[in-house]
Amino acid sequence: ESHGDNLNFIPLTNVLSNVQYNGNESGLSGIKFSALLPPAEKSKEFWVYEGSETVEPYRETVKWVVFRSAIPVSSEQVRIGIFGGI
């Protein structure tokens, strides 16, 4: 956890409250998805495993990627990511 917001995540966290429910849509611009990952020199060590969705219908169609290097985000950004800003 970082003490400050990760500025790269702000465009994403700003729209999460708009998509709290199934069928909700929201535009997303001004985000560079590669900036959400660890820097190239720190992203060489990772694990990939097959898993399932975390919500119904729990299809087993997900590939999870776990990086050895943490991506710094604030506790508020984690809260928004988990609860959609509610």
Q: What is the pLDDT of residues 64-75, one digit of tens each?
A: 999 999 888 899
Q: What is the pLDDT of residues 37-77, one digit of tens each?
A: 888 888 899 999 999 988 889 999 999 999 999 888 899 88
DSSP conformation letters of 10-78: HHHHHHGGGG-STT------S--GGGGSPPGGGSSSEEEEEE--SSTT--S-EEEEEESSPPP-BHHHH
- As a whole-number percent, the residues of the chain with pLDDT over 90 amount to 23
Question: According to the model, what pLDDT value does residue 47 have?
Answer: 95
What is the pTM for the complete model shown? 0.65
